[in-house]
Amino acid sequence: MFTGIITDIGTVLTLTQEGDLRARIRTGYDMAQVDLGASIASDGVCLTVVAKGADWYEVQVSAETVSKTNLGQWTPGRRLNLERALRLGDELGGHIVSGHVDGVAEVVGLVDEGDSTRLKFRVPDHLAGFIAPKGSVALNGTSLTVNEVDGAEFGVNLIPHTKTVTNWGETRQGDIINLEIDTLARYVARLRDWERQPTRA
What are the tens digits of pLDDT across the range 165-174? 999 999 999 9
Q: In angstroms, rounded to a whole number, what is the distance separating the alpha carbons of residues 168 and 176?
A: 12
Question: At the topology level of CATH, where does 8-84 sit?
Answer: Elongation Factor Tu (Ef-tu); domain 3 (2.40.30)
Over the stretch 130-153, which tens digit does the pLDDT of each residue have? Answer: 999 999 999 999 999 999 999 999
Q: Answer left, alpha or beta for residue 19, where phi above 0 means left and psi between -120 and 50 means alpha.
A: left
Q: At 36, is the secondary structure helix, strand, or coil?
A: coil
CATH 2.40.30.20 residue ranges for the chain: 8-84, 103-192
Q: In angstroms, rounded to a whole number, what is the distance separating the alpha carbons of residues 140 and 10?
A: 13
State the average pLDDT for the chain.
90
Q: In angstroms, rounded to a whole number, what is the distance separating the alpha carbons of residues 183 and 186?
A: 5
pLDDT recorded at residue 94: 62
| Average pLDDT of the residues in 8-31 | 96
pLDDT recorded at residue 98: 87
Please return the burial class of 7, using the count of CB atoms within 10 Å of its CB with bins 0-12, 13-18 and 19+. middle
Q: pLDDT tier at 64 (50, 70, 90 boundaries)? A: very high
Q: 188 pLDDT exceeds 90? A: no
Question: At the topology level of CATH, where does 103-192 sit?
Answer: Elongation Factor Tu (Ef-tu); domain 3 (2.40.30)
Question: Between 17 and 18, where is the model more confident?
Answer: 17
Helix (H) or strand (E) holding 63, with range, is: helix 63-68
Over the stretch 98-140, which tens digit does the pLDDT of each residue have? Answer: 889 999 999 999 999 999 999 999 999 999 989 999 999 999 9
| Average pLDDT of the residues in 184-197 | 62
pLDDT recorded at residue 187: 54
Q: Which long-range contacts (CB under 8 A, 24 or more apart) does 89-92 make?
A: 90/3, 91/3, 92/3
CB 177 within 8 A of CB 140: yes
CA torsion 57→7→10→168, rounded to 10°?
150
Going from the C-alpha of 58 to that of each of 2, 63, 67, 105, the distances in angstroms are 19, 16, 20, 26
CB 98 within 8 A of CB 180: yes
Q: In one letter, which amino acid is 47?
A: L
Q: In angstroms, rounded to a whole number, what is the distance separating the alpha carbons of residues 144 and 155?
A: 10
